[in-house]
Amino acid sequence: MSIETTKKSLARWHEMLNNRDMAILDELLAEDVVFRSPVAFNPYPGKQVVTFILTNVIQIFENFTYHREFYSEDGLNVVLEFSANVGEKKLKGIDMIQFNQHGQIVDFEVMLRPKSGLEALAAKMGERFAKYQPQ
């Protein structure tokens, strides 16, 4: 596994967001991917629920922009700093993404601030999760 594999996957991630082509998630997410939410204590395991979460978050976020990228020495971990709005609320955060040797995401953790932005996102995602029906 080289950092090049991770960089290729990250390029696909940015392409997905720029084109709003969430179908790319299917190739980027490992089957056993885990999502660690800034709102919920327990992680969400599995490709289906993680696809649901990421697809909905990108619809909720407005003015979403990545600012900086940081790579671990082994090339398997990336931290992406971002900013966005949820309605009137501004927020900043980081995505901490771990990749496997095949360039697939196995762990995705999000941290957000300030509390007002986190609460706005939690309310919007709560509405969408209420309608979520796993297949």
Q: What pLDDT does 2 receive?
A: 76
Q: How far apart are CA 47 and CA 52, in angstroms?
A: 9
Question: Number of structural domains, the chain?
Answer: 1
In a domain, 135, yes or no: no
pLDDT of res. 1? 56
Q: Is residue 124 part of a domain?
A: yes
Give the integer Cα–Cα distance in Å for 28 and 31: 10
- Which of these, 103, 10, 120, 133, lies nearest to 60 by C-alpha position? 120
**Domain encompassing residue 89:** 3-130
Query: What CATH number should be reported for the domain holding residue 30?
Result: 3.10.450.50
| Beta-strand pair 44-45/62-71 | unpaired
Q: Considering the domain boundaries, does residue 112 fall inside one?
A: yes
Average pLDDT over the chain, rounded to whole? 94
Q: Give the pLDDT confidence of 91-107 residue by residue, as tens digits.
A: 999 999 999 999 999 99
Query: Has residue 111 got a pLDDT over 70?
Result: yes
Read off the pLDDT of residues 25-49 as tens digits, 9 standing for 90 and up. 999 999 999 999 998 889 999 999 9
DSSP labels for 40-109?
A: -SS-EESHHHHHHHHHHHHHH-EEEEEEEEEE-TTSSEEEEEEEEEETTEEEEEEEEEEE-TTS-EEEEE
Identify whether 12 is part of a domain: yes
